Chain A
């Protein structure tokens, strides 16, 4: 008698625990492979590690060196320029194309595929092509000159001041199609009756977009910004394939800076310190945003 209740209790307990058991592997993996590794890296940034990890305490020495390094500040500034422009342009182009595609267009399927395909390609693949197109002696500039525009210049790739903007061009090319897909999906999800009602009230189309449709796409903005900032912060292949961080180190980003110090130069400590700075920057921007968005969606 008592054993059977025990059994049922056991069964119930397992049933009740099941959800937690199912997410446990992910939880453990996250704890170890993300937060554990971050902690490990944090510790490393306070050591004298050079070639390989070492665990002798060195205080804030690595951070002092990092902040004294000009290249680091160039990389940080570049991230602001690149991240800002990349996200803004992807959003603008993405929304714009999505709205246009949503106007009952012929050949929508083909156009959509064309906008989406860059996302399918690795930058190891397309970097070569972009490098070629943007190179003044081989690509666009030469082409325009051959077509008779003698004074056409487009030398951003080889210009220290402008190189980071070529990274923006290629980055936007790769990701804006995906943003378009997100917004198109969002537009398709909007209830038509609201728009019809607004039309009956005599609102113009741009106005309907401005005051009804775009505000209702707020969750899409959330997903898009999260994904875009994720791409921006991690942009590594993009820079490596396109400019290699050059000319000089003019188009370095924190990710490439960290890689080069931690792995190529045998200054693992500085690399770890720069990674911690990246993580702090991410946390400062993402966490509040995430928090407010998650809260508001839970309420709503």
Chain B
């Protein structure tokens, strides 16, 4: 009803002022795989805001894993000549879609919204193809978090680790006390998430960049990488044997319930703690993964916009892009999702301590060069290389492969997929 009234108002306005291009009520079709809990709530916010602007939201949720089915759907839609208005695409994959010549140009919206000033350069670089804006960022996730249940550590008489050496000691104690040290879901992306935090903790930001951004063979097959695999093996020994196939939020639930001591997972895990009514600092603590204090592995979610023919759809698309960048949306969305806003200069007052830490680290790490793109979440490489790294890491995790072999295979797999 409200929408209808607004619509009538808008139409009347357009008529009276006889603008050549008015506010056309269009339809946006948004392809995403945010179907669980806080994510779904966040998308609902966007839907509401867009409907308030007089457009129709056609939901196109394709659930499952890290959007595997969603990517299939997207490809066939683009091939059939009927792409959605926007799709949840991120990182270098945006460049791949740009190469295919399917994305639209958002420069006019970006100019009007002053995006160049509002977005940190790391973020805006990802959103541009060939110097033009083609996507809008919705959030920044920090991936290198460790979520710990202090009660478990207390019971086991262990100290929450800040380095990987301390981790081994603490894990041993928790296991001796009859609890599970590490809550883990044995899916390849979760194996990779844990692995990249280890690599960052042991090798540091420069090493991380050389390995996962430059894809340097020598670095990939180096003693430091072997050491990282050794540590991954240690972590694996402290997971429970039922972990294969487990969803990440069920692993988080193990920490919440005190069955397990800690989980290595990005800040979206916080949504699960919040939903369970737990307070940060008291019931759980969020700390950087061992050895990664001061560093920040970023994962930026974004919507890439496709070229649409219809004029009213184009108008709706522009409004969608504009709304996503507005503080109102960025705040509500990120409060729900556990991440921090992608645009700078926003008040963090409503956010909790974990998000405030994250926000501060984001700014400071960008100055010290410790801000690195997440490999596990497709921010550092094309999906083919990412897949090759996944395969090696997960094969190592689920077999008794030696660390030396793993590093060698990693280098050759990355070469093969480039």
Contact = CB atoms under 8 A, between A and B. Distances in A.
Interface of A: 50-53, 65, 68-71, 131, 135-138, 155, 157-158, 160, 163, 243-244, 246-250, 259-261, 263-267
B275 interface: no
B384 interface: yes
Contacts of B68: 259-260, 263-264
B382 interface: yes
A52 B78 contact: yes
A70 B384 CA distance: 15
Interface string B165-201: 0000000000000000000001110010000000000
A52 B79 contact: yes
Interface stretch (B51-59, B345-353, B391-399): B391-399
A109 B71 CA distance: 45
A93 to B, nearest CB: 27
Interface of B: 65, 68, 71-72, 75, 78-79, 93, 96-97, 99-100, 102, 186-188, 191, 240-245, 382-384, 386-387, 391, 394-395, 397-399, 409, 416-417
Given A51-B97, A158-B242, A265-B387, 13 more contacts: A51-B99, A52-B100, A53-B79, A71-B395, A137-B240, A157-B244, A158-B241, A244-B245, A247-B186, A249-B395, A264-B68, A264-B71, A264-B383
A266 B188 contact: no
Given A52-B79, A160-B398, A266 B72 contact: no
Nearest to A134: B245
Interface centre among B244, B394, B399, B416 (most CB of A within 10 A): B244
A239 to B, nearest CB: 12
14 contacts: A50-B96, A51-B96, A52-B78, A135-B242, A137-B240, A157-B244, A158-B186, A243-B244, A247-B186, A247-B245, A247-B397, A248-B191, A259-B68, A266-B93
Contacts, number: 98
Contacts of A160: 398-399
A245 to B, nearest CB: 9
Q: Which 5 residue pairs spanning A and B have beta carbons closest together?
A: A248-B398, A137-B242, A247-B244, A248-B394, A263-B72
A248 B188 contact: yes
Contacts of A264: 68, 71-72, 383, 387
A135 B240 CA distance: 12
Interface of A is mostly: loop
Contacts of B398: 160, 246-248, 250
A259 B69 CA distance: 10
Given A69-B416, A246-B187, A249-B395, A266 B245 contact: no
A244 B245 CA distance: 7
Nearest to A65: B416
A51 B243 CA distance: 32
Given A51-B75, A69-B416, A249 B241 contact: no
Contacts of B93: 266
A249 B394 contact: yes
Contact of A266 (B96, B186, B391, B397): B96
Contact of B399 (A65, A135, A138, A248): A248
A259 B242 CA distance: 26
Contacts of A250: 398
Given A160-B399, A246-B398, A266 B79 contact: no
Contacts of A68: 416
Contacts of B245: 131, 157-158, 243-244, 246-247
Contacts of A53: 79
Nearest to A136: B242
Given A263-B71, A266-B96, A267-B417, A246 B186 contact: yes
A102 to B, nearest CB: 40
Nearest to A141: B242
A266 B383 contact: yes
A261 to B, nearest CB: 8
A31 to B, nearest CB: 21
Contacts of B191: 248
